[in-house]
Structures are given as C-alpha cells and as structure tokens.
Amino acid sequence: MVSLFLLLWLVPGAFLQEDCSVNSCHPELGDLMVGRANRLSASSTCGLNGPQNYCILGYLEDEKKCFICDSRQSYHLYNQESHRIENVITTFDPERKTKWWQSENGVHEVTIQLDLEALFQFSHLVLTFKSFRPAAMLVERSKDYGQTWKVFRYFAEDCAFHFPWVSLGPAKRIDEVICDDRYSSLEPSTEGEVVLKALDPSFNIDDPYTPHIQEQITLTNLRVKFTRLITLGDTLLQRKKRSPQVKYYYALYEMVVRGSCFCHGHASMCMPMGLLYPRRTNCERCQEFYNDAPWRPSSQTHPHVCRRCNCHGHSETCHFDMAQYQASGGVSGGVCDNCRHDRVGPHCELCRPYLYQDPRLSLDDPQGCIPCDCDATGSLENGLCDPVSGRCVCKENVGGERCDRCKFGFYGLSQEDPTGCQRCTCNFLGSVLTPYPCDQQTGQCVCQSLAVGPLCDECRPGYWGLGNTVYPCSPCNCDHGGAYSDTCSSVDGQCQCRPNMVNRRCSDPAPGYFLAGLDFYLYEAENAAPLYPTLQIVPRERTTDMPVTWTGPGFVRVLDGVGLRFTVDNLPESLDYQLVIRYEQEVRVTMAMKNNLKHKWKCVCVCAFLFFCVLLRCDGQTGTLLNSCAFWFCFFQMGLIPTIESVQDFCSQSEVDQFQRFRCFELDSEQRILPDVCEGLIRSLSARIHNGAMVCRCNLQGSHGPSCSKLGGRCDCKPNVIGRCCDSCAPLTYGFGPSGCAPCDCDPRGAIAELCDQVRGQCPCRREVGGRRCDQCLPGYFGFPLCRPCECNSLAELCDQHTGVCRDCRKHSTGDNCERCLDGYFGDPASREPCKPCLCPDTQSSGRFFARTCNRDSRSGSLTCDCLTGHTGARCDACAAGFYGQLTRPGDGCRVCVCNDNADLADPDACDSVTGECLRCRHNTHGAHCQNCKPGYYGNALSQDCRECSCDRRGTEVAQCPLGSRCFCDSLTGQCPCRSGVVGVLCDECADGFWNLQGGSGCQPCQCDPANSLSNHFFQVTGQCQCRAEFGGRRCDGCGENHFGNPDLQCVSCDCNMDGTDRPACDPFTGECLCRVGVMGIFCDECAPGYDQAFPACTPCHPCALLVANEVHDVHLDVQRMRTLVSRHSGQLKPEDGGRLRRMLEMQSKLDSLANLTGNSVPRFKAAENLFVRLLYCLTCLDIYFDVYPEILEKIRKHHADFLTDQKQVKEAERALEDSMDTRQEIKNRLANCNSLEEMEQLENKVKALSVVNLNEKVSIPLTALRLCPALVFWK
C-alpha cells in the first residue's frame, strides 16, 4: 500500500519536473535508508537466537538496570524488545526512543552494511547512538556492488593507538583519509552522534563531475565497521555474579544516509524521464538511436543532451563513433547500423557500390539508388562509379564520362592494362602538341623543326637546350678561339674547350690563367744588343703627376747610325706579324715623320718556335724611320703583333671588318679601354693562337695573389712592384720582397742622385755623408747636412750625429767634449792635464773606494772625498751611525743596520758598526735584527705590534705562567701553553668532554654516565650532562628531579606536585615529597593548617593563627607519640588509673579535632587559645603520671631548638643569596656602562676569578639545613 502511494505521488511529479534540456538537473537529497530495510544488514544483533540479557550503565530512570533483548520477531507495538537493524531507519515516530538496533554483548567488531540498487550520490552520514559511541570505528564505501571497498574516514578516541597508520586531521586534500577524534569520547553516554560528510566544506569545488570528486561522493554500498567498544576497565575483573560484558554493546537509535539519485544531471527524479532519451539506471548512456553526440554529464553551462541519429529513414539503430565525431569537427558522431534500400555510409546517405544517387530523388527515397553507366574496359572494378554523382571511376590513364578513351598524352586503351593506357613518351618540348602529343592508337611522335629522335628529345647538331627558351633549341655559339669546334652537348650546351678555358662557350680562362693581348710579345730596348758601343741605357724616374708613356725600367738613347739587335724566340704560331716600335724624342724639335705616324710597322711572316733576330737601325740618309736623325732618340720597345687575317678559319669577313672599323689594333697597342667587340675578338684570337689560356705565373712575393686579369694577364702587384708577373721593383724603389718594394727616398741634401741600388737600396752620397738614404754624417762628423768633424780634445773619435757630444772618452775623461775627469778622478783634460785616481781611502779598482768623487783645493792642493751614504771620515774609512761593514775587506762597504724599524738608527750605539747586530731594540722586540717579540710578548715584530701575552693562568701550564711574572706564549700567534683538557688561544676554554676551568687544576673530564645520559654533550660552565628524564646529577649517575631509587637499577617517579615542593622535590632514597612552607600532604598538593587553602598559593593566615597552627601541629605529633606509648604500657596501668586513662583518651579525641578549630575569625582564635591552655594543663598532668614523658619532651625541645638554629642559618643563606643577586645586577649595570677596553679586561679578570666553590664555602650551613634551602641548592 505504501509503495503504491509513493508511485502515485511520483507520477504526477514527472510532468512537473524541470526542463533538463536547458539546464543541468539534480534530484533532491533524501534519506537513502528509507524503503531499503531489506538491503540493510548487521553482522551482530542481540536476541536473534533467543532472549538475551543486557544492562544499561548509569541508568537512573528506574531501579531496574537490566533488560531483555528478543529480536526473533520484528519490532511492533507488542514486541518492543526486538532490536533488529531496520529499527535505525527514520520513521518520525514520536516514540522513536523505544525503538533501536542493538548488537550482542561484548562483541567489539560489528558491521552495518547498506546495499543500494544502483550508483547513488552520497552527501553525509549521521549515526545517533543509544549507548556509548564506539571507541574506534570506520566508514567504507564501494562503487562496484561490494567487490572492492575504500575507507571514507576513521574515528577513534585515540587515533595513534587504534589506527597508527592513519594521519590525524584536518585533511590537506579533499580525498585524503584521516582519523577523526571528535566523535569517540565518553560523553554523552547516550544520544551521541557520529557525523561524516562526503566532501569537506573547507575545500572549494569548481566542477563536481571531475573524476576525483565523483570517486568521493558516488557509491553502491556503504559499510560502517565498529572495531572497539568503550569500556570502563571492569571487564578485567573476575566476577561470579554477573559478567561486566552485559553493560557493553553497540546500540543505535537512528542511522541517516543522506544522498540522491546519481543521474549525471540528466534527470530530476529517480525514474526515466523520456525527454532527454538517456537510458540505464544512472542515465549513464544515451537511449537507442540517440547517439549522434557523445554522452557526457550535464553541467551548469551545457546540458549535453543526447541527439537523435540521422539515418534518412534507412535504419532504426545507430551507435556513437568518436573518430567520426572528431572528423566532423564535433558536429555528428552517430553511425547508422544495418542500412536498407542499398544504402551505406555513417548516415545511410550513400549508395552501395555500382549504384549511385538518382539526382531527381531525395536521400530519403527508398528507390533513390540507380545502377552506374561506365565502360568496363576503362573504369575500375568493372564499372564502379561515384555513389553520389554517378561519375565513373576511371583507370589512372583513362578519361571521358564513361571512361572510354585515353587521357591527353596517353595511347592504347586496353582491358589488361591496370592503368588503362600507356603514356606517350614523346618529349613535349620537342614534339608538336596538336591535337595530341602522339597518335592515340600507335604512340608515334611528331617532332618540331629543330628537334630530332624517335621521341623528339634531342636538338639538331649545333643546337642545344631543348625547351630551355621560347625556341625549341638554342645555337651552341661556341667561342671561335676557346673551343675546338662549333658543336656542343645537346643537353647542357657545353662546348669542347681548349686547355684552361672554361664556361659553356669556352670564352673565359680558368682561374689562374689569362688570355694574351695583341701587344703581348714585346721586347724591351734595354735588353737589346747594341750594334755600336755608343748605345746608352738611361733609367727613367716615374712622377706622380705625369702619365707613364713607356715600359720597362727606362729607355735606350740612340743617335743616327746606331742600331739595336732584338732576339725573338717565343712566338707560339707561324703567322703574319706587324712589327711595332715605340720611341720618344728627347728634346722638343719639329720632326718629319713618315706618313705622320707615331709607330712604324711592316708585316713580316715569322715561323713559330724559331730563333731569329730583328735589326733596327737609325739611318738618316736612307730615311727608314726619320727624314733626319741628327738628334738623340729614346727607344722603349719593339713589338710583334699577329694579324687577324693570317689565322685560318678563325672568323668571318664581317668580324674582320668590325675589327678594323673599331680600330681594335690601335686601341690595344695604346692600352686604352677596348669595346666589347674588340675584346671578344682579341680574347678568341689569343685562345686560338696559344691553344687555350696561359698560366698567370704571378710572383708570390710581388703580387697579392696567384690570379691575374683575364685579358693581358696583369697580376695585382704590391706597392712599388712592376711587371706583368709583379717580379721587379719600379724605378726609385728597392728591396723586392713579400711586402713589395720600398721607395729609395734618397735625401737630396746628402745624395748626388735620386736612384738607388734596387737590391740594397743604397743611395749615392757625398764624401762626408753616409747612411742608406744619405741622411746622416759619417762617423767622426756631426751636424747634418754640413757634417763637421767632432771636437773631443783628442780623447774620442766619435760624437753624437746631431749634438756633437763626444762618445767613449778615453783616459778617465768625460763631458760633451771630454773636457773633465770622471767621478773618482781629478785633473783638467781641457788643459792637457791627465786624470788621476782619488784615494778614498783607496782607488776605485781596489774594491775599497767609498766616495762619489773627490775635489782638490785650488789653494792648498789637498783632496776632499765626497763619501757615499753610510760612510764618514776624511777618506770615507769609517761607517756612520746606523750603518755597519768590514771596510778593510775589498768589495765590502757600509750597509744600513737591519733593525726592522725597532731601533733608533740615529743612535751611534743602536747597532754594532762591524757586525750590524742591533743592540738597542724597542717596542718589546729582541734578536740580532729586532725581528722577534720578547719572551712574554707576541705579534708581528716587523709591524711594531708586539703585545703582552694574556694567558688565563687557570688553564695555562704552571711552568710557563709562574705567579708574579709574565706568562709565556707563542711569539707569533700568542697561543698559550694549555693544560690537559684546556683549549683556546688564551687557554680560557675547556675542550670537548671537559669542564670546571675555575677549579684551579685545569679542566676536568665530564664523564657522563653513558647509560643514563642522552648524549656526550654537556654544559661546560656547570659540567651538567644531558640526562634522561628519570635521572639527574651532574654526571647523570643519580635519580633525577622528582625521582628516587637506585640509579643502577631503576629510578621511580615521586609523583610530587612540583608547585608544592622545594628543590629537591623528594627524598632521593625514600621518595618522600619535601613540601615547601605552607604545603602538606603525601604529594605536597594541599595547603597546611594556618594557610589559605587556595593551592598552590597557600598564603599564610593571620600570624596568630599561624602560631596556633604550628603549636597544634607539634602537640598533634606529641599525641601520636603518646598514643604509641599508651598502647605499649596499657598492661602496666593500675586499676585506679582507669579514670585518668578515659579522660586522656577523651582529650585525645579533642586533640584530633583541633586542626579544624583554627580559622580566620577572632572567636575561633580565642577558642583555640583556651584549648591550648587546657592542653598545657593536661601535659602537666601527664608528666606527673608518666615518668617517661619528660625525657621525650626534652628531646622534642632539643629538636625544636635545632630547628630554630637551622632556620636562622637558612635565613642567613637567603640573605647571602639576595646579596649575590644584587652583586650580579650591579655587574650587569657596570657592563652596560663599560666603554674602555681596559675596564672590560679588568672586569673579565674579575669574572674569571669568581668561583662557585668559594661561594659555597662562604655559605657554610649544616647538612640538615640543605633540605630547607632548595633554592640555594638549585642555584649551585
């Protein structure tokens, strides 16, 4: 009935749910326990097998403490003793406290488990106990229906004991497993709660669907494990009447598991919604045919709804494919299954092979696919076509709508050919392309005009570069001279080059080679043989402001009737050559030149590689060259220039005409810039005549590199270097070498000509002038360019070239003109008086000359020595103050005494004048050179920094630091000689493992007890070792503070209240607590009578009350002793003493209550005073009846007197302690006001002289008083 009601209530709500296609939906939280009694179980329940007794601890509602549990039947109104696990489900019953679940008695490990039908979201858990909460428990969860479990959290009163492997909270991460100690205490004894939240609210959560959050809040099973009952210790007792286990069990009023359906945001209730089409229990998948988008949980920003697949009506099922989804850019990922109507494709949008979409019908039409119309010979797969357009899929080389003909450039359509047709192999660059490159049936090529070959892939002879230009082939255009012929390679157009010719046309020389010009074969007139001896060779100097009109180093001067013989032996080929002569007229005269030409030539045929001579004669009568040769003429060169017409098969007539029209011959001979036409013909002519290019042969020393100009072969010469090969120096230069040639640079003031020797560079000089440039005087002369003889009084041959100062004066003379004597000599060389040696006290060559020079008095003629530093006396034969030396020994002299600035060298007695030993050292130094500090001092004597040794006498060896004298230390470092166990430069510290430097015998070893100390470390001032907790003493060889016993066996804690004890807190042998004044009790934890009862202050009451309390305490002790005596002598009493005994016992009872009579009020003080008078009376009576009591009372009075004496000494010790504290404070104040180092050193010595032992000797008190003065003992 209840289930039917819930179903009827939920169905209308389905129509009121929120729209989850717009926003994320989340079902409301509820108690997951409701309606799941059959899915709830417990491992232990009381009374399942029969009635079971149990008791309630601390039950005060009724006299009955124990009850019956009978859970064989479910709970109902008439069976309220049933405590099954389903009782914990919330029912909102007003009498819910009569209904609970309860485990069996004494069972520690009990499990409660909830098994859910599906995956749910868990929020929190609340357990309300009827009994004590468990001492230890844990909560687990499962996401796989109980296959595996993970712990949510541990709970325990003592996490370190019950779950030592788990860290104590708070959690550092949201998924960290911790132990919580807040829900396991004894209180309350009932209705205590245990709360577990799935997500700690202290953490911020941005996305609840992240994997680690879902791992934390989703579950299919929840299990609560109780592992330990809270007991009060009575379970260890053996009782026969009733077992204590009946009081200890788990009882649970209510268990609330708050959570919600886990629908991933796709539903607002726990039922299929039918709107977003998800399926499965937790909406974790999309429904069938709604797989066009990937399933994802809904979020606040996007609902992620499931979309319907689009199969165009050809399928009813589909599935999601991620590759398809990503390929579509996230638009569609649904793939249709089992397409009908001859359809294929992800959306059934394509037709099957050999069918295609009818363009007249839609994709949804069942008859939309029609057969392909393709030629099987030229199409793939025997007629396969495109499924959309119906276009045939042709073979690779086949075209046409039906694939029935070859493509352009192919021929021979065939069924067996996998590509359909063969490619035309005609070179399209050389073949005719219209209408086809080749015949489509046979493949025959049709070539263009300049192409040849079966494939039209070659050029005709004399052409090359098929298809490189707009023309089919290009002419070879090989160079006439650089190539052997006009044919070239049809591929790259490369001509066949002559030796050392490069590039395609063979028109350029290779690197390091050149092509000769027309005037290459020149013959210098200077090298010709004269026919008569009247021939004169004149070098010509170059000027920077005039152009050079000649070649070679100069010219040949000839006259009428004189001839030259030129030797020719280097012509390369037999040709017609034009003979050319270059000359100039030496003087300006009007001359009648033949044909008004500057050059005269005549064609001669010369055979190659033959030796022949050319004779050149100046004949005025015959007029070969000139009408008149009455003047001198300057001849430079003769040249043999080949004629272009004499070279067979070289060039065409048009090229010869161009050569003459552009005057190429005249321009080349005049060394002008040639037009391109002339340069090309000359280069080709040179390559033809010389069979290729000629090597440059540049001189490596005279040129900048091995390369030369391509035409003419001129090398790049270094400065002042000339010649085609850069192999000679230019006029007015010399010294051909790696840096070129240097200019002669002859000085015109001393040279007779500008030219110099081209090898040495020596210029021609005047008689008294010398030097390479003729720019200085010869030795023995000065004052260039006049060059006068040196003036040296006949005592030197050389003098300075510029100043005339004489050099190397002889006979001990010196001066600019050797006019005076050297130091150590006297005389007058200017007056022809020779220089003689000074005797100071001996000559310079003797090794005993100690003066700079000497002077002779012009009147008396006596000599006076000018002594060197450190010498004194008329003859410089003694050492001055501060100097020493053996003057009788040759080579010695007076040297300064080396006292390191620690002696007054002005003092004649500061050092020994012979040995140099320092005699009067200052600044606390000593030694032969005052180089060391005196004994008892240390430092750097060389820096005048010797300080007194400041050794600590307590730690220094006695022999090195005797009383009444200085201590001795290392003279450099100041290190004092320390005793054993003492370290430090001043021996003022104890070494590791030592202490008590103040003891007077050096430092003593600490000797910490290895078993009772924590380590070998200790306090060096007190020697106190670091003891373990239960041990004490300086060496940790005794029991520690608040401990007693034998340290060799065991030290036991006294358990004294430290606030109520003195120091030491207890007796080290008996363990008795030693209470301070005003405190009493076994553990010194309560105030004594006569003191305010507010512990631990225990302030004294009124002085009268304190006195009364003390007297009462003393009387109480006496009464205790009397009680002991009475019990001993009770058998000795007479019959008539019975009444007295009764009165004494009554007085004893009154004395027992005396302690309670003292108070702060005046009446009580008076009552106590009256009672004290009566006590005195009773004591008098007791003295009469008992003879033994006087002796006891006498002892009491004696102890009391001793106590007063001890108290007096204690007060004196306290005053001494206060004085010591005042002294320390005064020392601190003085330390704060100390400014000078001297005061600090004095204060340091005073502090070091302080000794705890001496202070203890001054405070001499009996041993019995030490127990009453803990502060003093502690301070010690």
CA–CA gap between residue 104 and residue 245 (Å, rounded): 10
Q: Which residue has the higher pLDDT, 845 or 542?
A: 845
**Residue 442 domain-assigned (yes or no):** no
Tell me, what's the pLDDT at 102? Answer: 94
Of 1-15, 428-442, 1005-1019, 1199-1213, the least confident: 1-15
Please check the confidence at residue 245 and state whether its pLDDT lies above 70: yes
The per-residue pLDDT for 54 is 92
CA dist., res. 276 & res. 18, Å (int): 12
Name the phi and psi angles at 1162, rounded to 5: -65, -45
Domain end: 896, 911, 939, which one? 896
Give this prediction's pTM.
0.36
* pLDDT computed for residue 162 by the predictor: 93
Percentage of the chain beyond pLDDT 70 is 78
For the segment 1145-1172, the average pLDDT, to the nearest whole number, is 56
Looking at per-residue pLDDT, the higher value among 907 and 221 belongs to 221
801 and 850 assigned to the same domain = no
Of the ranges 439-453, 623-637, 967-981, which is most confident? 967-981
Task: Give the residue-averaged pLDDT of 320-324.
Answer: 90
> For residue 1167, what pLDDT band results from cuts at 50, 70 and 90?
low
Average pLDDT, the chain: 79
What span, in angstroms and rounded, lies between the C-alpha atoms of 801 and 775?
Answer: 11
Q: Do 71 and 153 lie in a common domain?
A: yes
Strand partners, 141: 150, 222
Residue 1270 pLDDT level (bands cut at 50, 70, 90): very low
Q: Say which residue, 1117 or 385, is predicted with more confidence.
A: 385
Question: Are both 1165 and 1030 inside the same structural domain?
Answer: no
Greater pLDDT, 698 or 1121:
698
Poorest-pLDDT segment among 232-241, 264-273, 569-578, 941-950: 232-241
Say what the pLDDT of residue 8 is. Answer: 30
Q: What is the mean pLDDT of residues 448-472?
A: 84
Mean of pLDDT values over 769-781: 91
Rounded distance, CA 963 to CA 984, Å? 21
Contact at 8 Å (CB) between 630 and 560?
Answer: yes
The per-residue pLDDT for 79 is 87
Max avg pLDDT among 175-189, 510-524, 602-616: 175-189
Backbone angles phi, psi at 997, to 5 degrees: -65, -25
Predicted local distance difference test score (pLDDT) of residue 668: 64
Lookup: tokens for 945: 């920094």
pLDDT band at 240 (very low <50, low <70, confident <90, very high): very low
Q: Which residue has the higher pLDDT, 1211 or 192?
A: 192
Domain boundary residue, one of 937, 968, 991: 991
Per-residue model confidence (pLDDT) at position 274: 41
For 1063, the token pair is 């120091």
505 within domain boundaries: no
Task: Give residue 446's pLDDT.
Answer: 84
Q: Is 608 or 1024 the better-scoring residue by pLDDT?
A: 1024
Q: What is the pLDDT of residue 1254?
A: 59
Return d(Cα 459, Cα 429) in angstroms, integer. 11
> Residue 5 pLDDT more than 60?
no
Count of domains forming the chain: 9
Same domain, 824 and 843: no
pLDDT, residue 9, reads 34
What span, in angstroms and rounded, lies between the C-alpha atoms of 798 and 816?
11
Strand partners, 447: 431
Per-residue pLDDT band at 528 (split at 50, 70, 90): confident
pLDDT in tens, 617-672: 554 443 333 333 344 556 667 878 887 777 776 776 767 777 767 677 666 666 66
**Helices 1138-1152/1103-1129 angle, 10° precision:** 140
Q: Are residues 667 and 579 in the same domain?
A: yes
pLDDT at 39 over 70: yes
160 and 185 fall within a common domain: yes
Rounded CA-CA distance 717/723 in Å is: 8
According to the model, what pLDDT value does residue 494 have? 92
- pLDDT score recorded for residue 765: 92
**Domain region containing 1068:** 1054-1099
Which of 252-266, 664-678, 1167-1181 comes out lowest in average pLDDT? 1167-1181
Instruction: Please determine, for residue 441, whether its predicted confidence score (pLDDT) is greater than 90.
Output: no
Instruction: Tell me, yes or no, whether 89 and 161 share the same domain.
Output: yes
3-state SS of 742-802? EECCCCCCCECCCCCCCCCCCCCECCCEECCCCCEECCCEECCCCCEECCCCCCCCEECCC
Are residue 1258 and residue 1246 in the same domain, yes or no?
Answer: yes
Residue 14: is its pLDDT beyond 50?
no
Q: Are residues 570 and 712 in the same domain?
A: yes
Q: Is the pLDDT of residue 677 over 80?
A: no
Tell me, yes or no, whether 155 and 224 share the same domain: yes
Across 340-344, average pLDDT: 91
Domain identity same for 611 and 677: yes
pLDDT bin (cut points 50, 70, 90) of residue 1128 is low
Judge if 828 and 853 occupy the same domain: no
Across the range 595-619, mean pLDDT stands at 46
User: CA of 496: how far to CAs of 484, 492, 1096, in Å?
Assistant: 6, 12, 127
Over the stretch 367-384, which tens digit does the pLDDT of each residue have? 989 999 898 888 988 888
pLDDT, mean of residues 305-317? 90
- Other C-beta atoms closer than 10 Å to the C-beta of 80 total 12
Residue 333 has pLDDT above 50, yes or no: yes
Domain-located, residue 42: yes
User: What mean pLDDT is predicted for residues 1235-1242?
Assistant: 55
pLDDT on residue 279 = 47
Strand boundaries in 162-277, DSSP class E: 179-180, 193-197, 218-228, 251-261
Predicted pLDDT at 614 = 57
Q: What CATH number does the domain containing 1082 carry? A: 2.10.25.10
* Position 98 in a domain: yes
Give residue 456's pLDDT: 86
What is the reported pLDDT for 547? 47
Least confident of 8-17, 39-48, 753-762, 843-852: 8-17
pLDDT band at 1010 (very low <50, low <70, confident <90, very high): confident
The pLDDT tens digits for 1181-1238 are 555 545 555 667 777 888 888 888 888 888 788 788 777 777 777 776 666 665 544 5
Domain ends where: 689, 719, 749?
Answer: 719
State mean pLDDT over 1240-1263. 55
Please tell me the predicted confidence (pLDDT) of residue 348.
93
The answer to whether residue 431 is domain-embedded is no
Q: What is the CATH number of the domain that holds 116?
A: 2.60.120.260
Q: Is residue 520 part of a domain?
A: yes
pLDDT at 650: 73
- The CA–CA distances, whole Å, from 874 to 15, 216, 593, 839, 851 equal 142, 116, 100, 10, 10
Classify residue 240: in a domain, yes or no: no
Read out DSSP for 132-183? PPPSEEEEEEESSTTSS-EEEEEEESSHHHH-TTS-BSS-SSTT---EE-SS
- Is 414 within a domain? no
